[in-house]
Amino acid sequence: MTREKKLREVLNVRLDESLARELRRIAASRGTSESEVARWLLGYGIEVSRRLEAREMTEPYAWEIDPEHDPESRVPHMVEIEARTRPMTPEELAARGLWDWIEDENEGQHEA
């Protein structure tokens, strides 16, 4: 069974109307609270930020780049985010406490 996280920290965030409306829409479509959706989206944003920081650490130092021979170094870049789904690994399932949920779902399928 999934253990609920104990939430201790509080963050007050001011949202503009369009962002608040979108948050409400996502919460309604998922049947959950706006706070849950905000935590979920914040988690994605943090993951994206971590991956961008990790990628920056693999890039060469400025003194290693020769702008004359590397035209990419002179062109500004944009971040593009692509979302896709994949099955969870056994380790990911275990870390999230989802094995019991999968077993419960499979029991219902075997009875048919």
CA atoms within 13 Å, Cβ hemisphere of 103:
9
What's the rounded mean pLDDT across residues 30-54? 93
The pTM for the full model equals 0.59
**pLDDT tens, residue by residue, 61-92:** 777 777 666 666 667 778 888 889 999 998 98
Give the whole-angstrom CA distance, residue 28 versus residue 6: 24
Highest mean pLDDT among 51-55, 69-73, 77-81, 97-101: 51-55
2 pLDDT higher than 80:
no
| DSSP string for residues in the chain | -PPPPPP---------HHHHHHHHHHHHHHTS-HHHHHHHHHHHHHHHHHHHHHHHHHSPPGGG--TTT-GGGGS-----------PPPHHHHHHTT-HHHHHHHHHHHHT-
Q: Taking the domains of the chain in order of start, what are their residue ranges?
A: 17-85
Give the whole-angstrom CA distance, residue 89 versus residue 96: 11
105 pLDDT higher than 70:
no
